[in-house]
Structure 1
Amino acid sequence: MRFVIIGAGRVGLRTARVLREEGHEVTLVERDEPRVRRARNEGFTVVESDGAREDTLEEAGVGDADAVGALTGDLNVNFTACMIAKHHGCRTVLRIDEAYREKIYRKYAEEVDEVIYPERLGAIGAKNALLGGTIRAIADVEEHLQVVELTITEAAPVNGYTISELELPADSRVLAFGKRDGDLELPGEDESLEVGDRLVVLADFEVLSDVRQLLVGETPSEAVANAASGSSSGAGGVN
């Protein structure tokens, strides 16, 4: 997947690193010369210009991008970049700081795909917001272990099973379960798995593709490719 990140500061650069580590293509947009130099020293492609300009975003490849993350500390720049990206058909993620009140949050939330508070969310959360979909990475526990939240789909082979009937691959286990729009809780054996329900699973990277096939219903080839790249399925325009 291709991403354009506006802002190579703390939030933007960390998010870019996470995405690149998972095999995605990332272009950064930044106008501050020291930040541009730092990002380029780390091997990133950087467009040195104003992220609120359409020609800048076009140079960064917004026309071919799956999503744009406007992650600067300037709300006006972020919102303008998201509106340009939306015009180009991209998924849009808008950074908004804690200082802004709920009224402002609601105003902008109606115009973009997702609004994030990086002070709460962190880089892995910003990455999830960009990916969207039915699979959400929560934490990398060790180099080979990841905690993921998966949403049951109609295509999932386990749709209609109970927790007790669920047989995950070795080296994976269910940590929590939540009904659609409900809170996550410790799983009960008699809970039934229905479309929209969520499971939090701890899994070795080697079996993540098998877990995805069971709980999300991806084909074997899709599951292997997506598990390797860290991408999510089920979000229009960003798969």
Structure 2
Amino acid sequence: FTHNERLFLSAVGPRGIIPASVATLFAVELQALGRPQEAQLLAGTVFLIIFATVVLQAGLARQIADYLEVSPMRTIIVGGGRVGLSLAERLEQDGENVLLIDLDPDAVEKARKRGLRALEGDGTDADVLEEAGADDAKTVIATTPDDDVNLLVCQLAKTTYDVESVASRVNQPDNVDAFESLGVHAIDLSMATAWSLENVLERPSLSAWMNELGRTGDVQEIEVTATDLVGKTIADLNAEIPDGVIVGLLTHRNGATEVPTGDHELRDGDRVTFLGQTDAVDRAIKRFHPHE
């Protein structure tokens, strides 16, 4: 843990067990001495203070984390329509720190009612992106039905805030090149729909499995940071991989991606893709990509 992470844990970590135990002990002693009112007052006051402290810490935890810069890097989604809202919910379920931006107050309120963090404002306004924390964001995604808006959002994210990963919904196929020229991951909406329909018709079993995986399972790509695993083959690591999860893809530092066999050896900088049950995928991630 870093110094700031230790400060954060000390600020919001659970406490009160020892004071509660001591207060209970003294209350019992006071009861034995025939002073029940003092016993109740002592115990009640201590537990009230503990309760108030817990509530205060819980309410300020996010602000403290932001101040100490230990919050998970944020994913900002501009566009609170059906696509943006669904994506935000899925990313939240995956444990991402998501903030949704939309000009429509109704869309913002709808997102908040679903438990999402949302900001009312124009995602093409640098001040709004600044307020959203774009300077600390790891990902910015534009999901509005207007390609001009999406392109401007991506341009700001890339040039002004130097965001590592920028992606966008592209509504008109002819605009894909404009997004890709900025280094944006462009998702052609019409092509994505065509691929989905083709999968349903040509590969129904695979399509059904992927849909089921999307509902009850998880797919995660992570960089291998556990140094003790580097140099070992997939077969060697079989016991390290939890039941209910498989290594679907292996991406090397040079960008080459392949379906691994048991003989494939993990190298420094490799990325692996896990598929399987959500809890099993989580355990695999913790083993292969432990907290640094």
Instruction: Please state whether the residue corresponding to 1:191 is helix, strand or coil.
Output: coil
The DSSP-based 3-state class of the residue aligned with 1:201 is strand
Match of 2:267 among 194, 206, 209: 194
Which of 109, 113, 124 aligns to 1:41? It is: 113
- In the superposition, relative to structure 1, how do residues 179 and 114 fare at CA in structure 2: closer, same or farther (>3 Å)? closer
Higher relative contact order (CA 8 A, sep 6+): 1
Aligned to 1:161: 232
Q: Is the 8 A contact 2:103 2:122 kept in 1?
A: yes
- Structure 2: distance between partners of 1:108 and 1:183: 24
Q: Distance in 2 between matches of 1:48 and 1:179?
A: 38
Which structure is higher in helix share? 2
1:54-73 matches, within 5 Å, as 54-73=126-145
Does the CA-based 8 Å contact 2:78-2:144 persist in structure 1?
yes
**Residue among 146, 162, 176 paired with 1:74:** 146
Question: How far apart are 1:8 and its partner, in Å?
Answer: 0.3
8 Å CA contact 1:11–1:118 kept in 2: the answer is no
Deviation at 1:7, TM superposition (A): 0.4
Measure the CA separation in 2 of the matches of 1:6 and 1:147: 24
Contact 1:175 1:200 survives alignment (8 Å): yes
Counterpart among 248, 253, 265 of residue 176 in structure 1: 248
**1:9 lines up with 2:81 in the alignment:** yes
User: Which secondary structure does the structure 1 equivalent of 2:124 belong to?
Assistant: coil
What is the CA–CA distance in structure 2 between the aligned matches of 1:212 and 1:31, rounded to whole Å?
36
Cα offset for 1:53?
1.6
1:63–1:140: structure 2 CA closer, same or farther, 3 Å change rule? farther
Give the distance between the partners of 1:160 and 1:182, measured in 2 at CA.
Answer: 18
Q: Is the 8 A contact 2:78 2:102 kept in 1?
A: yes
CA-to-aligned-CA distance 1:43-90 (integer Å, 9 cap, x gap): 434333322122232333334433322211212111212222331233
Report if aligned partners of 2:138, 2:165 keep a CA contact under 8 Å in 1. no
Partner of 2:172: 99
Between the two proteins, the alignment pairs up a number of residues equal to 199
Q: Show structure 2 runs of 5+ residues with no match.
A: 1-71, 194-209
Q: TM-score, normalised by structure 1?
A: 0.63
Contact conserved, 1:79 with 1:94, CA < 8 A, in 2?
no
Give the secondary structure class of the aligned counterpart of 1:68.
strand
- Equivalence for 2:186: 115
**Shift in CA distance, 196/89, structure 1 to aligned 2, threshold 3 Å:** closer
Q: Contact 1:3–1:65 (CA<8 Å) still a contact in 2? A: yes
State how far apart, in whole Å, the 1-side matches of 2:95 and 2:251 are. Answer: 32
Residue 37 and residue 143 in structure 1: after superposition, are their counterparts in 2 closer, same or farther (change >3 A)? closer
RMSD of equivalent CA atoms: 3.6
Cα 1:143–1:53 change in 2 (3 A) is: closer
Amino acid at match of 2:187: I
Structure showing the higher strand proportion among its residues: 1
Find the aligned partners of 2:125 and 2:110 in 1 and give their Cα distance.
22
Quickly say closer, same or farther: Cα 1:69–1:197, change in 2 above 3 A.
Answer: same
Query: Could you say which structure has the larger radius of gyration?
Result: 2
